Structure 1
Amino acid sequence: MADATTRVNLDTEDLKLIDRYWRAANYLSVGQIYLLDNPLLSDALKPEHIKPRLLGHWGTTPGLNFIYAHLNRVIKSRDLNMIFICGPGHGGPGMVANTWLEGTYSEIYPDISFDGEGMKKLFRQFSFPGGIPSHAAPETPGSIHEGGELGYSLVHAYGAAFDNPDLIVSCVIGDGEAETGPLAASWHGNKFLNPQRDGAVLPILHLNGYKIANPTLLGRSSDSDLQQLFSGYGYLPIFVVGSDPMDMHQQMAAAIDHALDIIKDIQRQARTGQAPTGMAAAVPHWPLIILRSPKGWTGPKEVDGKKTEGFWRAHQVPVANCRNDDGHREILQSWLQSYHPQDLFDNKGRLKPELMALAPHGERRMGANPHANGGKLRIALKTPDIGDYALEFAQPGAIQAGATEVLAAYLRDVMHINDIDSNFRLFGPDETASNRLSKVFEATQRMTMQRIESYDESLSADGRVLEVLSEHLCQGWLEGYLLTGRHGLFTCYEAFIHIIDSMFNQHAKWLKVSRKLPWRAPVSSLNYLLSSHVWRQDHNGYSHQDPGFMDVVANKKAEIVRIYLPPDANTLLWVTDHCLQTYDRINVIIAGKQPEPQWLSMEEAKKHCQVGLGIWPWAGTETGETEPDVVMACAGDVPTLETLAAVSILRQYLPQLVIRVINVVDLFALQSAEQHPHGHSDAFFDQLFTRDKPVIFAYHGYPTLIHRLTYKRTNHQQIHVHGFNEEGTTTTPFDMTVLNQLDRFHLAIAAIRHVPGLEDKAAEALQFCHKKLEQHYDYVREYGEDLPEIQNWQWKIN
């Protein structure tokens, strides 16, 4: 690998120009935090010019502005296709300032014009009611990353670079963010980036030394320690250190050019066949820029006699009482004037022409790059006909099959037919095979750039399955991949998807805001397939038994989230095919991997899934117009199995009992149309669940969610939910249901007890159920497996 090739040395004129551009961005950033009026300092600052509530963050912003200005230079000089990911959570003023300076902001928001009046509106809207957030949010041009929660910038950057061979993703990582777990793991993204087909990530670790009120760990680390740390991760660190602006400009220009030369050389070797590939694949040592600059750089050095610049007091609002304190207002006045606004803007507030010329043009501007508005680049995913994978059987329950294993053949062919477009990937934490999806390896393999041994299986530098034992990385890579216009699926054990609860929250918020921005084009939905679920984690035990992700998802806006509980393979095929073709949503699919009875033909599955729930007439005992005595409802594959087994008991012992069986595949179909787009009217719900008959509801997750979704329904008081009650251990599959009273015997007992007058007539049935529970208890503890009649149970119409 070549070391460095050309090193830039800015001449005096270029040095002055880039410094002025940086000063313009800093001026606009300070103005956003403080000013309501007088944007060009035409008069001395007065109290009424200052915002009554100062909400913003200065500390990281000047460093971001410095980086942005230098990236603009190389984009122009090298004609680069580059986007900017802002990791520091409170860098919003810088992102807004720079996209306004390059012209993108005013194009998207014409009311924020590119002049003094627009500058005033730009200042006023920032962190102001009816305005924009203080973070780099969906409203910010060029952003694919919400800065409100730290830790996700670098993993998003790698996700954006996958399958984008001409893209360079510049990613600024704050030293506070660098202390988070997700970010710490994200450095390993270089082991999954293939320079032959992927783009490049240019990490810029910005060390300003402090977070909110403490030194940062990496900020206090020596350059020698950082060199060793990041060399160990597989990077080539390039240091830019100091505080003198002119010296720092020269250092930064040289560092960026050096980094880009290294990237170019890595890609050239890989794409011309000079770099090792396949069995001998090696991880290139990609460049990393480490920028050390003072926190609150160019701001007030002291306020009220206390150190500010280069200290944590510069983090948020360094001068806090400018409305009411004349001395503070004078500091702000001097601070703003130190940028010499008359040297930057003309008397109408327009950026001077020689500075305007520094910004790239058109879609080369980082705020206008279509990869930062990925829906513009999105092409529809090609999907095969699900009928080609359908299971056929003579009658419900006649065969058993693992639903995810059936789905794997479909996903394999999704990989095949989208291979040319290179726009679909599968992400998961080392569980593709465990979740019975191994058929995808017939189309592709697991991706790695590390050494591959001769005895390794399904590993390749060209693989499109990304496996790493970090749910954070899988989630973040997929988010970055989707937000830049592609498609994907995240498969995970159900219990451990909780690890990314907060990342899910942030993405849901992003989508909620983005859907209301007409300039943001729709992106592909974030799709989860959760298998190895709570009811079949009997071998791993209590630590692996948690269905609560659905409760987290249900908290989000109805237009964003969907939850599906397909009861068998054909419904799983329909649901997955549907979800992969949607956009601007988060779809959660929960399906078991173990062999289970198959209930619906493909045609039945299609009709059932389109409605979201429905009566299974073949399972109940209704024969005419009269209402049932009891409704046996179920949602989830194991609850469906146990419900039908309970129904078979009731049919045998109480043949006169009129039973209706309802299966729910789309959880939000339980709500009204006013509450959720997939909801149904009260009349339809009453028609299915009746207005006053007992409903015994077997549910995959925590029972309270069903009550929450149905609490406004007429018959809510008669809905009795059996689900996971936080009882678990290492035991048999059926014993898991018994521990939580989701088993067939408890469901049958519940039906008998809740149908008025039935208990007195059902002594034999009750005796049978109680006896079987006793037998089960003794048998599993003696033999370590379920009763043979449980293991071999099959649905049969009496």
Structure 2
Amino acid sequence: MPGQLLVQPNPPADPSHLPDSVLDCRVRAGTASDITSTELASLDKFKRAVNYIAAAMIFLKDNVLLERKLTSDDIKPRLLGHWGTCPGLTLVYAHLNRIIKKTDLDALLVIGPGHGAPGILSCLWLEEALACFWPRYSRDRAGLTRLIAKFSTPGGFPSHINAETPGCIHEGGELGYALSVSFGAVMDNPYLVAVCVVGDGEAETGPTATAWHGFKYIDPVESGAVLPILHLNGFKISERTIFGCMDDKELIALFSGYGYQVCIVDDLPNIDKDLAGAMEWALGEISRIQHAARSKKPIVKPRWPMLILRTPKGWSCPKVLHGEFIEGSFRSHQVPLPEAKTSEEELQMLQDWLASYRPEELFTVHSTQGETEGAPISDVTGIIPVAREKRLGFRKEAYVAFQPLSVPDWMPFGIESGREASCMKTVGSFLSEVIKRNSTTFRIFSPDELVSNKLDAVFDVTARNFQWDVTSRAREGALLKFSPNTPVRAFIGIVHTMMVQYSKFVKMAHETEWRHDIGSVNFLETSTWARQEHNGFSHQNPSFIGALLDLKPKLARVYLPPDANCFLSTVAHCLGAKNYINLMVGSKQSTTVWLSPEEANRHCKSGASVWKFASTEEGVNPDAVLVGIGTEVTFEVIAAAALLRKLVPALRVRVVNVTDLMILGPPGSHPHALSDENFDSLFTPDRPVIVNYHSYPVEVKGLLYGRPNIERISIRGYQEEGTTTSPFDMMLCNEVSRYDVAAAAIRAGEFHNPKVTTVAHEMASYVTHLAKMDKKYICHEGRDPDGTFDTPVFEKK
């Protein structure tokens, strides 16, 4: 087997104390002894061709085959693109082609340096993936001219990899997530290897730092493997990288500590032999680990391979400009010759740079019989796998990966109305059935918060599968991935930007004809500021709702189910949805079940409804409309309605619950937005509306903008108040308590009901007094008054 593991299983903490023989785990030139001279020649021509195209994409708008001396008119007016990472990406792509062709490997390539698009697009053009998915980029002169001239211009490919890029599963507009995406891609794909190139600048990000541990959750029996390649070229956009300042001993100590077998590839004069040997060694190690596990003799704490590829930044571009290094420095990160259009010196340097790839040896400049003008010669494409489905740009996992779930009927899991139940505990029982029906396509990723989020009913049908934990490794069934994430609210902001990047990928995929449906990402928020338990002010942040409201309306869905039955209905709906970002906000604590399963089903389908049981005269001709949006704040609205019926019986109120937040926007603002007629039928055309909202009031204000007569609507919500205190005190602190709602309703109703006018001041003052008394009790006793959260009883008039 090419290459060998020379790193001790448990190296000393201080890398300087490690013997050189242990630390030197580089695969030396010649270890891939079976690499042929034909393969080496083909690798060389492939790399020269794709590097030429990548560089030309950044600079040229004409003369794309360099058939004459470059002039200023051949240069784009605006130079955009990132050259520095491209030579390393094309090197990896070339060698993946070789190993796939040689071994019939099923591989997916995930690119962390997203702005390396020129390098990847050039490879895709050579293997004809661009021509297949984008016929205008045919593998001939016309297609090549269009690819080069239109890159980073209106109507062409953008400067970063996105859903328009064949073979791509990762939005490259933000660094940090490629490695996590790779581990997700191989789960339940036992024969797939995701090769993930991580830039050394990207490797400094928090998401990547955590993702290095991802292999510890990969079961070698049922899942594929990830081969991380740290592309260490030493520089970011304007300075050295942290990893670029680390020597071999430090790098090996670090990644060995993570649990990897590390192989450093950096023999530049013999880089093809070095990398070929490293890849064969890595695939051999992957095969060894998987074979042992699948033979029921699993390796304890298997050490998966990783490669560190050390190449110069901007390799093969001009060495020096104006006395400063370009190749091997940060100056090659983007455009190495930024004044090529206006400077004769830089134009000549560009001419020499492009000519150094000898394009006349790589492309058919003038067509002859049986040849296509502008196409690559056969020696250039000789390294590309023959079978199209094996080529990196054609991998079906990249564009037909979505598998619909078999979602069971949720109604049998419903709770009788009038009882109390935890939304999450009820959902946990439902998810147990989902797991039984979808044992190889549905998994939960919630290794720590699962029990506290009260989803532990799933343990009745499955088990944890944490490979580095002696109590849970090598077990059938797994809590590893699950389309709904279940984060504590305070921590959900950590995945904010990941959610945004996924939404961008979904948007572009939806607009790309050849992309198939993409699974929705579903978020469950369960630990809310309203029931913060032991968490104080520092843990309260409902801003994730606002993050979704900023997305394209066709992508975002925000649901705030008011009880367990509504939550069941919503989860079942979201598990069957596709191409969306769904957020479901509820409570893991027991709360009143207001609606029967049948009522909840109708309520969730409509997105909102009048709750007649809590309204006076079933909500007909109200003086004020009370609206609850969210579990706990809706409880306060119901409690306020009961209090008003007792204290101010003349006040007519209509109680409305909104479970689908997006219905509030004006017509056309969102697919779920109510028409003005339906909006008025719920909230009346002209009566005061008091909204008690789970999150920041400004979010509802933004949604309502554009609705007529919105000045009649007042909104209460989270005000960044509260610490470790009682649940009801949190309501009081943020002015969303039943007393705040009741007082606002009295003051609003006095303008429409003379019977209320005469008692409005007295009753509103009394209600405010009740709030102060409860606040005093809480401060003195350290708990809420008895009966605070008992289901309200409505006295008949």
Range of TM-score over shorter length? over 0.9
What is the rounded CA distance, in whole Å, between the counterparts of 1:283 and 1:57 in structure 2? 39
1:383 aligns with 2:424: no
Taking the TM superposition and a 5 Å limit, the aligned residue runs for 1:5-404 are 7-244=32-269, 247-276=270-299, 282-347=300-365, 348-360=373-385, 361-373=387-399, 376-393=400-417, 398-404=418-424
What secondary structure sits across from 2:614 in the alignment? coil
Per the alignment, residue 770 of structure 2 pairs with 772
CA contact (8 A) 2:267 2:274 kept: no
CA contact (8 A) 2:592 2:791 kept: no
What is the rounded CA distance, in whole Å, between the counterparts of 2:724 and 2:696 in structure 1? 19
CA contact (8 A) 1:567 1:636 kept: yes
What is the rounded CA distance, in whole Å, between the counterparts of 2:769 and 2:450 in structure 1? 41
Q: Deviations over 1:615-635 (max 9, x none)?
A: 1112111358x6311000111
- Number of equivalent positions: 759
Q: Deviations over 1:682-708 (max 9, x none)?
A: 111112111211101111000111111
What is the rounded CA distance, in whole Å, between the counterparts of 1:791 and 1:672 in structure 2? 35
What is the rounded CA distance, in whole Å, between the counterparts of 1:682 and 1:793 in structure 2? 34
- Give the CA RMSD over aligned residues: 1.7
Per the alignment, residue 464 of structure 1 pairs with 478
Which one of the candidate residues 666, 669, 674 is aligned to 1:672? 666
Q: Deviations over 1:369-404 (max 9, x none)?
A: 01111xx243320111111101123xxxx2111111
Please report how far the alpha carbon of residue 355 of structure 1 lies from its aligned counterpart in structure 2 after TM superposition.
2.2
What secondary structure sits across from 1:401 in the alignment? strand
Q: Deviations over 1:214-236 (max 9, x none)?
A: 11111111111111111111111
Q: 1:796 to 1:623 in 2, by over 3 A?
A: closer
What is the rounded CA distance, in whole Å, between the counterparts of 1:765 and 1:390 in structure 2? 39
Question: Aligned AA for 1:423?
Answer: T
Taking the TM superposition and a 5 Å limit, the aligned residue runs for 1:423-502 are 423-428=441-446, 430-453=448-471, 461-466=475-480, 488-502=483-497
What is the rounded CA distance, in whole Å, between the counterparts of 1:429 and 1:499 in structure 2? 16
Please report how far the alpha carbon of residue 424 of structure 1 lies from its aligned counterpart in structure 2 after TM superposition.
0.8
CA contact (8 A) 2:232 2:243 kept: yes
Question: Aligned AA for 2:794?
Answer: K
What is the rounded CA distance, in whole Å, between the counterparts of 1:10 and 1:797 in structure 2? 87
Question: Aligned AA for 1:353?
Answer: S
Q: Deviations over 1:449-508 (max 9, x none)?
A: 11425xxxx776444213xxxxxxxxxxx6xxxxxxxx6221111222111111111111
What secondary structure sits across from 2:244 in the alignment? coil
What is the rounded CA distance, in whole Å, between the counterparts of 1:19 and 1:406 in structure 2? 60
Q: 1:775 to 1:460 in 2, by over 3 A?
A: farther
Per the alignment, residue 612 of structure 1 pairs with 607
Identical pairs, percent: 41
Please report how far the alpha carbon of residue 759 of structure 1 lies from its aligned counterpart in structure 2 after TM superposition.
4.8
1:562 aligns with 2:557: yes
What is the rounded CA distance, in whole Å, between the counterparts of 1:756 and 1:774 in structure 2? 23
What is the rounded CA distance, in whole Å, between the counterparts of 2:447 and 2:772 in structure 1? 40
Per the alignment, residue 471 of structure 1 pairs with none
Instruction: Extract unaligned runs of 5+ from structure 2.
Output: 6-30, 366-372
CA contact (8 A) 1:81 1:168 kept: yes
Please report how far the alpha carbon of residue 446 of structure 1 lies from its aligned counterpart in structure 2 after TM superposition.
2.1
What secondary structure sits across from 2:444 in the alignment? strand
Please report how far the alpha carbon of residue 283 of structure 1 lies from its aligned counterpart in structure 2 after TM superposition.
2.0
What is the rounded CA distance, in whole Å, between the counterparts of 2:793 and 2:574 in structure 1? 30
Per the alignment, residue 540 of structure 2 pairs with 545
Per the alignment, residue 482 of structure 1 pairs with none
What is the rounded CA distance, in whole Å, between the counterparts of 2:86 and 2:390 in structure 1? 22
Q: Deviations over 1:4-32 (max 9, x none)?
A: 59834433332111111011110010011
1:704 aligns with 2:702: no
Please report how far the alpha carbon of residue 764 of structure 1 lies from its aligned counterpart in structure 2 after TM superposition.
4.9
Please report how far the alpha carbon of residue 90 of structure 1 lies from its aligned counterpart in structure 2 after TM superposition.
1.8
Taking the TM superposition and a 5 Å limit, the aligned residue runs for 1:624-703 are 627-703=621-697
What secondary structure sits across from 1:706 in the alignment? helix
Which one of the candidate residues 717, 722, 730 is aligned to 2:716? 722
Please report how far the alpha carbon of residue 756 of structure 1 lies from its aligned counterpart in structure 2 after TM superposition.
3.6
What secondary structure sits across from 2:309 in the alignment? strand
CA contact (8 A) 1:494 1:547 kept: yes
CA contact (8 A) 2:428 2:457 kept: yes
Per the alignment, residue 600 of structure 1 pairs with 595
What is the rounded CA distance, in whole Å, between the counterparts of 2:360 and 2:473 in structure 1? 60
What secondary structure sits across from 2:558 in the alignment? strand
Which one of the candidate residues 511, 514, 518 is aligned to 1:523? 518
Q: 1:241 to 1:3 in 2, by over 3 A?
A: closer
Question: Aligned AA for 2:671?
Answer: P
Q: Deviations over 1:488-535 (max 9, x none)?
A: 221111222111111111111111111000111011100011101121
CA contact (8 A) 2:646 2:795 kept: no
What is the rounded CA distance, in whole Å, between the counterparts of 2:625 and 2:200 in structure 1? 58
What is the rounded CA distance, in whole Å, between the counterparts of 1:500 and 1:98 in structure 2? 32
What is the rounded CA distance, in whole Å, between the counterparts of 1:434 and 1:426 in structure 2? 14
Please report how far the alpha carbon of residue 763 of structure 1 lies from its aligned counterpart in structure 2 after TM superposition.
4.6
Please report how far the alpha carbon of residue 117 of structure 1 lies from its aligned counterpart in structure 2 after TM superposition.
1.2
Which one of the candidate residues 572, 576, 597 is aligned to 1:577? 572
Please report how far the alpha carbon of residue 429 of structure 1 lies from its aligned counterpart in structure 2 after TM superposition.
5.9
CA contact (8 A) 1:628 1:659 kept: yes
Question: Aligned AA for 1:464?
Answer: A
Instruction: Extract unaligned runs of 5+ from structure 1.
Output: 277-281, 467-477, 479-486
What secondary structure sits across from 2:376 in the alignment? coil
What is the rounded CA distance, in whole Å, between the counterparts of 1:74 and 1:402 in structure 2? 53
Please report how far the alpha carbon of residue 668 of structure 1 lies from its aligned counterpart in structure 2 after TM superposition.
0.2
What is the rounded CA distance, in whole Å, between the counterparts of 2:119 and 2:324 in structure 1? 25
What secondary structure sits across from 1:518 in the alignment? coil
CA contact (8 A) 1:403 1:591 kept: yes
What is the rounded CA distance, in whole Å, between the counterparts of 1:672 and 1:513 in structure 2? 25
Q: Deviations over 1:643-699 (max 9, x none)?
A: 010001111122222211110000001113401001110111112111211101111
CA contact (8 A) 1:448 1:463 kept: no
What secondary structure sits across from 1:492 in the alignment? coil
Q: 1:57 to 1:623 in 2, by over 3 A?
A: closer
1:796 aligns with 2:794: yes
TM-score (norm 1): 0.93
Question: Aligned AA for 1:416?
Answer: K
Question: Aligned AA for 2:293?
Answer: A
What is the rounded CA distance, in whole Å, between the counterparts of 1:428 and 1:193 in structure 2? 14
Question: Aligned AA for 2:73?
Answer: E
Please report how far the alpha carbon of residue 796 of structure 1 lies from its aligned counterpart in structure 2 after TM superposition.
3.2
What is the rounded CA distance, in whole Å, between the counterparts of 2:169 and 2:656 in structure 1? 42
What is the rounded CA distance, in whole Å, between the counterparts of 1:519 and 1:131 in structure 2? 17
